[in-house]
């Protein structure tokens, strides 16, 4: 903040001098009157030349706008008038782009001149589930090229679902001398060579977080590429880098990183190695434990005191990893349980009996991720202790549609009764009831994110045999803060009429294998005014349903519909009628389909764009 | 294993309109999964006789008869119909589970997805051949996906059709409405069932459910290839 103030006052000085550019600006009546109100004797006496209302206004605005960080507020401010638009553009340091194809890199660099932090999202979420052919797009290359020229002071880049190459990372490392934070979530296209360059060249690096990304093993010892001497590292996450690590170099790095708070290692770091790291970095607040298995199973030698190492980490509040854990060692984390606010067991096949002694001490847990191996019994234990729980995610150990499914509405209902402050839930199961959903809607009114995946398609309430309409209806009706919803199970159009009627704050809706007719889609598109992201698969919605949202699509980030009943003609009509929305159609493969399927649209992905259709679309994508 | 859809004649009207149109309306009160809706509209199987006994179709119709007064049948589908990207678990997570399982019995790394098309149906499906252990299982899965599809009963060991007997083969192919054929590694279109199951999984690149009449031409070629392999 202090830095910003300094910069602000320098800019104020600049604005007080006569600026040839601003002389040409047209001044709408409203702002000149407000400018008059702001002119004070102090300002007047400081100037060499008498300031136009423009300058005063702009300098005041700059001073005020620096306090605005929320992008919604900034977007609103920029719409007031041209002058405000310009000043806002000058003072926006953090830019968030939810869809990299909604504008071109040039437009970014033309409008915003002082960007220090860039958040960029690429592919839509359904790409994570193999519903999009590879090489669809979302390359980081044009963005890094444009920003390298325009923002040499860039400090932070956060990418999600983008295609990033080693060359891109090299350009980034070379172009931004003050670069501080790199976060890559669900990205691909790069490898250990790229990371090595970033580690080596970005001397101010504070954050290097690689999360759920696919990282090619270039057989480069990237950990050794960090420069000698003290580092600025605050956070280092490499649990998704699935190649072995030079442990000695890692240990050395940790030793010379006194500011390190967050360290997430991969499964190639054994428990005894982890122990050595913890001993050298007891200040850690967040730890990803790697394998959580000792390297050498041979007993006889003195085993390190793992519990002591955990006890020494008095600031530890977040634990994850456990990717190849050995159950006997799990109790070693007990000393930190009472302080934990976040625990991620979702890569560990933990049984109820393993969980109970641990969770019984976790009174402060706010975020808990686990596999369904903990069973309903484990969930009941969570409900009994974790009264502060805000976010729960339970993933399937066996992620196949017809797996047994050890959890059900029993654990779900227990959670709703025990964890009243719940705000976000993701729950995979095979058996659910409307009653449990209704109970949760009544017990947990603070829910903002509700994602239920009943893995067997079209499954009804397993007790009554009825569709899941009433349960989801209760959720949208009673959870008045709901912004994100994912539905599953047997659902008729009725469920969607509830969503349209009550889901007034919903921004993201995920639908699969649900609904009976176009009415369902219409209910949602006509009823949910805040809808931004609508992703639908395998549901009987066609051209009629698609047309019912014509008034909405420009105000949404995107619409995805795959394996529905859309026709090419219908999609073409939409494309024709909405000139600033890009309509892409493609199949699930990158080869051409047979002629007879040409009218059938396998996937529709449409999004608003300021700069028209993209030029980098691969052959298998047709832009209508 | 014969399976057939219990349809009344009205539902067997050929209709290529989009859903929601005013032509053949779905039987009132029935909810169907999407795949069943499209199949019914397209109509395909026209055997009015209803054979009780196939559990595959019981499942399909059990779901669709939800609201009508038929008793619910919560039987699980016997064959594993595999759909791409469902359940929605990220491949990153799936891969981690595979590589981190110390106990053996984790799922095989690579799936063998092949496209399945059915003559007349305006959509494609994909199946993972590694999910099935025999032709029977594949047949059940395809029946679930394309509800009017029936593959007939395979005789002999490993459920193989007798490709060596030309006359028997022609009769068999003639008696089916839809004949499963596949494109093999050489790019030839063959009749499904000519090789042992594991070899089929390795060699099959694509599946096509051809109209019986079109498949007649395949039969002699299938025989030739079979003989040359033996």
User: Measured between CB atoms, which of B37, B76, B85 is closest to A402?
Assistant: B76
**Yes or no, beta carbons of A538 and B94 under 8 Å apart:** no
Q: How close A395 gets to chain B, by Cα (Å)? A: 8
Instruction: Enter the ipTM.
Output: 0.83
Q: What tokens were used for B38?
A: 């499209």
pLDDT of A44-63, one tens digit each? Answer: 444 445 556 667 777 888 88
Q: What tokens were used for B99?
A: 């590589």
| A384, burial (CB in 10 Å: exposed 0-12, middle 13-18, buried 19+) | middle
Q: Nearest 5°: phi and psi at A394?
A: -120, 115
Q: Nearest 5°: phi and psi at B218?
A: -75, -30
CA distance A214 to A535: 24
Give me the tens of pLDDT residue by residue for chain B, a chain 230 residues long. 343 434 444 444 444 444 444 433 333 333 444 443 333 333 333 333 333 333 333 333 333 333 333 333 344 444 455 688 999 999 889 888 877 664 434 444 456 778 888 887 766 777 888 888 888 888 888 877 776 555 554 444 444 556 666 676 677 666 667 778 888 888 888 888 878 888 888 888 888 888 767 777 676 666 677 677 65
Q: Nearest 5°: phi and psi at A543?
A: -60, -40
pLDDT of A457-477, one tens digit each? Answer: 999 999 999 999 999 999 999
309-328 in chain A: CB under 8 A from chain B: 323-324
**Yes or no, beta carbons of A516 and B124 under 8 Å apart:** no
* Interface residues from chain B to A (CB-CB < 8 Å): 18-20, 26, 31-35, 37-38, 63, 66, 72, 74, 76-77, 80-94, 96-97, 99-102, 107, 115, 117, 122-124, 126
Task: Note whether A403 and A396 are within 8 A (CB).
Answer: yes
Q: Which residue of chain B has the CA closest to A488? A: B87
Interface test with A, best of B37, B39, B87, B90 (most A CBs within 10 A): B87
Q: How many CA atoms lie within 13 A of A371 on its CB side?
A: 23
Give exposure, A197-228, as e/b (b: 16+ Cβ within 10 Å).
bbbebbeebbbbbbbbbbbbeeebebbbbbee
The size of the A-B interface in CB pairs under 8 A is 136
A369 touches chain B (CB under 8 A): no
CA distance B156 to B179: 18
Quick one: average pLDDT of A368-381? 97
3-state secondary structure of A146: helix
**Yes or no, beta carbons of B117 and A457 under 8 Å apart:** no
Q: What is the DSSP string of A204-234?
A: T--EEEEES--EE-----GGGGSPSS----S
Count the neighbouring beta carbons within 10 Å of the beta carbon of residue A53. 17
E-state strands within A190-339: 190-191, 207-211, 215-216, 235-237, 262-265, 286-289, 318-320
Q: What tokens were used for B209?
A: 């459910």
CA distance A562 to A126: 9
Q: How big is the CA angle at A420 (ends A414 and A425), to the nearest 5 degrees?
A: 70
User: Measured between CB atoms, which of A240, A453, A600 is closest to B122?
Assistant: A600
Contacts of A324 (CB under 8 A, 6+ apart): A267, A291, A292, A293, B100, B102
3-state secondary structure of B185: coil
User: Measured between CB atoms, which of B20, B80, B123 is closest to A544?
Assistant: B20
**Yes or no, beta carbons of B80 and A402 under 8 Å apart:** yes
Residues in chain B within 8 Å Cβ distance of A456: 76
Task: Note whether A77 and A88 are within 8 A (CB).
Answer: yes
Tell me what pLDDT residue A258 has.
Answer: 96
Beta-sheet pairing, A94-97 with A156-160: unpaired
pTM: 0.74
pLDDT of B106-162, one tens digit each? Answer: 444 456 778 888 887 766 777 888 888 888 888 888 877 776 555 554 444 444 556
Q: What is the DSSP string of A338-358?
A: TT-SEEE-TTS---HHHHHHH
**Yes or no, beta carbons of A460 and B72 under 8 Å apart:** yes
3-state secondary structure of A185: strand
Tell me what pLDDT residue B120 has.
Answer: 73
Local confidence band at A283 (pLDDT 50, 70, 90 cut-offs): very high
A594 touches chain B (CB under 8 A): yes
Q: What tokens were used for A5?
A: 């103030």
User: Measured between CB atoms, which of A462, A518, A538 is closest to B20?
Assistant: A518
Chain CA centroid to CA A88, Å: 26
526-585 in chain A: CB under 8 A from chain B: 537-540, 542-545, 563-565, 567
Quick one: average pLDDT of A99-114? 94
Q: How close A74 gets to chain B, by Cα (Å)? A: 34
Contacts of A537 (CB under 8 A, 6+ apart): A126, A131, A511, A512, A513, A560, A561, A562, A563, A564, B85
Residue carrying the six token digits 């083969």 = B169
CA distance B94 to B109: 10
- Examine the pLDDT at A35 and tell me if it is beyond 60: no
Q: What tokens were used for A225?
A: 């590429």
3-state secondary structure of A581: strand
Residues in chain A within 8 Å Cβ distance of B62: none
User: Measured between CB atoms, which of A242, A543, A593 is closest to B18?
Assistant: A543
Tell me what pLDDT residue B104 has.
Answer: 38
A462 touches chain B (CB under 8 A): yes
User: Measured between CB atoms, which of B93, B107, B123 is closest to A395?
Assistant: B93
A492 touches chain B (CB under 8 A): yes
Count the neighbouring beta carbons within 10 Å of the beta carbon of residue A250. 21
Beta-sheet pairing, A94-97 with A286-289: unpaired
A65-74, A149-158, A401-410: range with lowest mean pLDDT: A65-74
Q: What tokens were used for A328?
A: 């006997």
Q: What tokens were used for B184?
A: 């093999």
**Yes or no, beta carbons of B115 and A130 under 8 Å apart:** no
CA distance B168 to B219: 10
């Amino acid at each position: 903040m202090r830095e910003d103030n300094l910069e602000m006052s320098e800019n104020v000085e600049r604005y007080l001098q006569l600026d040839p550019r601003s002389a040409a600006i047209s001044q709408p009546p409203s702002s000149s009157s407000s400018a008059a109100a702001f002119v004070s004797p102090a300002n007047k006496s400081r100037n060499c030349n008498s300031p136009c209302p423009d300058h005063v206004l702009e300098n005041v605005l700059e001073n005020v706008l620096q306090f605005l960080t929320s992008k919604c507020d900034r977007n609103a401010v920029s719409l007031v008038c041209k002058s405000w638009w310009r000043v806002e553009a000058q003072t926006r340091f953090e830019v968030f782009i939810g869809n990299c194809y909604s504008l071109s890199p040039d437009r970014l660099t033309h409008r915003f001149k002082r960007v220090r932090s860039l958040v960029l999202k690429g592919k839509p979420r359904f790409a994570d589930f193999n519903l999009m052919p590879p090489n669809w797009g979302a390359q980081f290359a044009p963005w890094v090229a444009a920003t390298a020229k325009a923002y040499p002071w860039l400090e932070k880049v956060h990418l999600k679902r983008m295609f990033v190459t080693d060359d891109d990372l090299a350009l980034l490392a070379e172009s931004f001398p003050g670069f501080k934070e790199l976060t890559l979530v669900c990205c691909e296209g790069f490898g250990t060579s790229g990371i090595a360059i970033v580690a080596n060249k970005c001397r101010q690096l504070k954050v290097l977080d690689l999360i759920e990304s696919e990282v090619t093993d270039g057989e480069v010892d990237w950990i050794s590429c960090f420069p000698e001497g003290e580092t600025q590292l605050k956070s280092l996450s490499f649990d998704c880098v699935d190649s072995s690590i030079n442990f000695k170099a890692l240990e050395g790095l940790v030793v010379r990183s006194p500011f390190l708070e967050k360290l997430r290692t991969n499964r190639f770091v054994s428990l005894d190695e982890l122990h050595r790291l913890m001993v050298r970095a007891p200040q850690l607040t967040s730890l990803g434990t790697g394998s959580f298995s000792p390297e050498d199973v041979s007993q006889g030698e003195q085993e390190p005191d793992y519990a002591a190492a955990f006890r020494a980490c008095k600031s530890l509040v977040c634990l994850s990893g456990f990717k190849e854990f050995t159950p006997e060692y799990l109790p070693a984390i007990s000393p930190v349980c009472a302080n934990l606010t976040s625990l991620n067991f979702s890569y560990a096949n933990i049984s109820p009996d393993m969980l109970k002694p641990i969770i019984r001490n976790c009174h402060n847990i706010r975020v808990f991720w686990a596999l369904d191996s903990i069973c309903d019994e484990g969930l009941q234990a969570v409900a009994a202790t974790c009264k502060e729980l805000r976010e729960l995610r339970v993933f399937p150990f066996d992620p196949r549609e017809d797996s047994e499914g050890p959890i059900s509405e029993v654990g779900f209902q227990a959670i709703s009764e025990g964890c009243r402050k719940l705000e976000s839930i993701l729950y995979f199961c095979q058996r659910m009831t409307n009653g449990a959903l209704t109970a949760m809607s009544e017990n947990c009114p603070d829910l903002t994110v509700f994602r239920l995946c009943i893995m067997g398609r079209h499954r009804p309430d397993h007790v009554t045999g009825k569709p899941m309409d009433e349960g989801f209806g209760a959720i949208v009706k009673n959870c008045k803060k709901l912004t994100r919803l994912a539905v599953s199970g047997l659902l008729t159009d009725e469920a969607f009429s509830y969503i349209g009627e009550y889901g007034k704050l919903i921004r993201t809706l995920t639908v699969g294998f649900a609904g009976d007719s176009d009415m369902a889609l219409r209910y949602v598109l006509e009823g949910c005014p805040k809808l931004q992201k609508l992703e639908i698969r395998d549901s009987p919605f066609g051209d009629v349903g698609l047309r019912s949202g014509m008034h909405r699509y420009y105000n949404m980030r995107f619409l995805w519909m795959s394996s529905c009943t859309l026709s090419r003609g219908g999609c073409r009509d939409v494309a024709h009628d909405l000139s600033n929305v890009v309509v892409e159609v493609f199949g699930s493969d990158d080869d051409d389909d047979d002629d007879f399927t040409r009218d059938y649209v396998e996937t529709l992905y449409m999004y608003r764009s300021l700069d028209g259709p993209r030029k980098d679309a691969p052959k298998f994508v047709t832009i209508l | 294993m014969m399976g057939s859809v219990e349809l009344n004649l009205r539902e067997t009207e050929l209709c290529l309109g989009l859903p929601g149109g005013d032509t053949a309306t779905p039987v009132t009160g029935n909810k169907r999964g999407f795949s069943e809706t499209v199949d019914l509209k397209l109509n395909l199987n026209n055997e009015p006789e209803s054979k009780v006994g196939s559990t595959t179709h019981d499942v399909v119709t059990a779901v669709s008869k939800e609201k009508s007064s038929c008793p619910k049948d919560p039987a699980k589908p016997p064959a594993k119909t595999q759909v791409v990207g469902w359940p929605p678990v990220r491949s990153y997570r799936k891969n981690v589970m595979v590589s981190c399982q110390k106990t053996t019995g984790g799922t095989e790394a690579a799936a063998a997805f092949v496209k399945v098309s059915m003559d007349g149906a305006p959509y494609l499906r994909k199946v993972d051949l590694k999910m099935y252990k025999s032709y029977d299982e594949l047949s059940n899965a395809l029946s679930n996906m394309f509800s009017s599809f029936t593959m007939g009963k395979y005789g002999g060991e490993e459920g193989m059709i007798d490709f060596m007997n030309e006359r028997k083969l022609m009769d068999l192919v003639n008696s089916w409405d839809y004949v499963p054929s596949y494109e093999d590694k050489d790019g030839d279109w063959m009749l499904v069932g000519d090789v042992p199951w594991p070899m089929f999984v390795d060699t099959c690149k694509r599946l096509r459910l051809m109209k019986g009449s079109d498949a007649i031409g395949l039969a002699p070629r299938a025989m030739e290839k079979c003989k040359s392999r033996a």
